[in-house]
Amino acid sequence: MPKKITAEQRKSWRTLPLADWNTLTCHAMVIDLNAEKFGVNKYVPLRGWQFEQGVIKRSLAEYGAPALRETIERAFAEHRVTTQYPQLTAGFLVAYMLPRIIPQVLANGQRKERAEQAVVNGGMTAEEIAEFL
């Protein structure tokens, strides 16, 4: 029987394997990155906790944890806060930034898969590599 993962362990997004991620893990990541990058000590969710948990859960189910994690990382890399909006909420990130970022993330994932598959299948010719890149 697999060992049960506690809520505290789920919040350790840096060490928890992506296969074990859930809504709590994604929320912890967003809250931690807000504190680290923008100095936000009190996280205030967009439209409430239930809304944010719902959009995160749907995104995890649709795209998977690896793609959602990369999307969150990219969103924090490019987002600039203002005095009116001093944090990046998970709700805003998923509702407004994810539709723009996720196609890039998914395309990069497909490219990596094809490259790994090419290596497994015996390599590519120079033309195939040029076309691939």
The region that residue 94 occupies, defined by phi over 0 for left and psi between -120 and 50 for alpha, beta otherwise, is alpha
Q: Return the pLDDT at 123.
A: 61
Q: Return the pLDDT at 120.
A: 64
Q: Return the pLDDT at 132.
A: 61
Place of tokens 């990219």: 74
In the predicted model, residues of the chain with pLDDT beneath 70 are 1-2, 118-133
Place of tokens 């809250």: 31
CA distances from 75 to 23, 101, 106, 113, 121 (A): 17, 8, 15, 23, 35
- For the stretch 81-113, pLDDT in tens is 899 989 999 999 999 999 999 998 888 888 877
Rg (C-alpha) for the chain, rounded Å, is: 18
- What residues have CB less than 8 Å from 128, skipping those under 6 apart? 118
Listed by start position, the domains of the chain span 7-104
